[in-house]
Structure 1
Amino acid sequence: MASSQVPLVATLVANPAKPVVTDDLVAEAAGALGHEAERTVLARGIAADLIVPSSAEPGTVEASLRKALEGQPVDIVVQPLATRRKRLFLADMDSTMIGQECIDELADYVGLKAEVSEITERAMRGEIAFEPALRERVALLKNLPVGVVDEIIEKRITLTPGGPSLVRTIRANGGYACLVSGGFTLFTGPIGSKIGFNEDRSNHLILDGEKLAGLVEEPILGREAKLATLVELRSRLNLAHHETMAVGDGANDLAMLGEAGLGIAYRAKPAVAAAAHARIDHADLTALLYAQGYRAEEIVAASA
């Protein structure tokens, strides 16, 4: 993000399973910035804020913190303090809100998971264009019974830790959440509902009776459609640019992440992590709440 002559906040976040954000670690981080940095604990051992004077450069602050905390499993998000709370949240699904790539799981049923996974990986790294790669993978699924989708969701799909709490906390505080995926409505509908999204947008697989036809409806929802969804919802909800946040892991998320007020790369491919405003490599998805200044006691439980 661009330099701004307003106070910045640097949020340090660890995985709840490895709560290493101790008082000593926070003090070490504050020392790297200058001891005048104000400290606030958001979740004991998990997340803390450092308020940085307005003269600081965001890139310099992040670089100083990364150097000071090198080797520690701690994520760092630096942003303007005044505009950190978001009202619109867009999220990728595969390998972001869930731990799997749904098309790869479908391919496993026809013995082609290795082949399809290789294409998926190349597309997510940005080595090949998303749309033709999707058509190629979908064609390999021709004649697969559509009923396997329910079985995959039940037996193979795992929600990314922190995801339901993230979405439900945003919505409980008046925000709007959209699951926007280059995957398929057969998955985003039930998965988006389970997590708690307001809506989901994705691609439609064409059916031939009760089997997949090996085709996907055009136009394909890819990089530009994700960006257009962010712009559309921001306009519809009458929100400012800074009130938006997006998260994803693949090359087809880059335009959406770049347009968001805060674009976060989650366990992302290297090119995506390098281009995003912030990156989460260690923490779970509740990191996106701590980045907005939520405290542990304000987070809505996943079962709520």
Structure 2
Amino acid sequence: MAHVVTLVSHPARPAVDPAAVAAVTALLPDAGAAVTLSPGIAVDIPFASPVAVDKRALADRLRGALAGVPVDLFVQRAAERRKRLFLADMDSTMIGQECIDELADKVGVKAHVAAITERAMRGEIDFEPALRERVALLKGLPAAVVDEVIAERITLTPGGRTLVRTMRANGTYTALVSGGFTLFTGPVHAMLGFDEHRSNVLVVEGGRFAGRVEEPILGREAKLAALLELRERFGLAPVETLAVGDGANDLAMIGEAGLGVAYRAKPKVAEAAGARIDHADLTALLYAQGYRDADFVA
């Protein structure tokens, strides 16, 4: 079978039942028997097609057949599933928060900053000037507050640690690539087990934020450049790469990856991405590569 559709639901809310499998199988040409990756949570459905498959169009059609069922799906060539390079956004992807919004709360301007963040992530305003504007509002805040924010407010996205550690255990290079700040990506990348992290540097003077960020700012184009650089460093084909994110500054990276995934993404990003996760946790990216739950590194 040349292609495979992977159905995935959230581990805490299994929804990949016989009815869901049958609804998808009925729309696939020359479909084979479903292969269970995790009971009730993930299955592969292999299929063959005598003509080229428009994966995006087929995925949209299959989602229509699953309307109302909390199941995500991936359509791929079977031989191209396993990835050897993984890049991930941090804020609202690998963690549940936007770090700059939480810092802004410490100076009483969270609502204002969060509104700017939301517009930037939706692609309504340019990322770089929006970041400078928000960082300026942090001027004078003690840099030590970062440790407090990480300890009290930052939560890892479910499935993220298992995703990173399983991929690394199978020879994949992993990079956390964020438009956020090194003060956060350093600890977060260590907690999740990434090989490296790249992000922006907040200027600190006398132990307090100076209200500036070091230039050049790591944004949309820098994330794409990181993917291209790492792909070349390891001699990989485009199809061997995986990228995930939620905001407009992730679009170039997502678009260039062999499998580009929008995670709980803004509408513009979800529409543009080749695949998306709306219901499952981050282990969906392992099932999409054909891993079974028994293969996971906890």
TM-score category, normalised to shorter length: over 0.9
> Which one of 91, 114, 121 corresponds to residue 88 of structure 2?
91
Look up the match of 1:17. 12
Look up the match of 2:247. 250
1:8 Cα deviation after fit: 1.6
Q: Secondary structure at the match of 1:41?
A: strand
> Which one of 57, 61, 69 corresponds to residue 66 of structure 2?
69
> Which one of 183, 204, 208 corresponds to residue 207 of structure 1?
204
Look up the match of 1:275. 272
Paired with 1:51 and 1:45, the residues of 2 have a C-alpha distance of 18
Look up the match of 1:156. 153
Aligned-CA RMSD value: 1.1
Does residue 52 (structure 1) correspond to residue 68 (structure 2)? The answer is: no
1:69 Cα deviation after fit: 0.9
Does residue 109 (structure 1) correspond to residue 106 (structure 2)? The answer is: yes
> Which one of 9, 33, 36 corresponds to residue 41 of structure 1?
36
Paired with 1:286 and 1:180, the residues of 2 have a C-alpha distance of 19
Does residue 218 (structure 1) correspond to residue 215 (structure 2)? The answer is: yes
Correspondence 1:143-182 to 2 at 5 A = 143-182=140-179
Look up the match of 1:3. none
Does residue 122 (structure 1) correspond to residue 128 (structure 2)? The answer is: no
Gaps of 5+ in 1: 1-5
> Which one of 291, 296, 299 corresponds to residue 293 of structure 2?
296
Look up the match of 2:76. 79
Paired with 2:13 and 2:225, the residues of 1 have a C-alpha distance of 37
Look up the match of 1:31. 26
Identity rate, percent: 66
Paired with 2:102 and 2:54, the residues of 1 have a C-alpha distance of 44
What is the number of equivalent residue pairs in this alignment? 296
TM-score by length of 1: 0.95
Alpha-carbon contact 1:165-1:299 (below 8 Å) kept = yes
Paired with 2:208 and 2:54, the residues of 1 have a C-alpha distance of 55
1:143 Cα deviation after fit: 0.3
1:35 Cα deviation after fit: 6.5
The residue type equivalent to 2:24 in the other structure is A
Paired with 1:99 and 1:123, the residues of 2 have a C-alpha distance of 17
Look up the match of 1:186. 183
Q: Secondary structure at the match of 1:11?
A: strand
1:28 Cα deviation after fit: 2.6
The residue type equivalent to 1:185 in the other structure is T
Paired with 2:170 and 2:181, the residues of 1 have a C-alpha distance of 29
Q: Secondary structure at the match of 2:132?
A: helix
Per-residue Cα deviation, 1:105-154 (whole angstroms, up to 9, x for no partner): 00000000000000000000000000000000000000000111000001
Does residue 261 (structure 1) correspond to residue 254 (structure 2)? The answer is: no
Alpha-carbon contact 1:8-1:58 (below 8 Å) kept = no
Gaps of 5+ in 2: none
Shifted more, 220-229 versus 48-57: the winner is 48-57
1:33 Cα deviation after fit: 2.2
Q: 1:239 to 1:34 in 2, by over 3 A?
A: closer
Q: Secondary structure at the match of 1:85?
A: coil
Q: Secondary structure at the match of 1:201?
A: strand
Alpha-carbon contact 1:8-1:53 (below 8 Å) kept = yes
Alpha-carbon contact 1:99-1:160 (below 8 Å) kept = yes
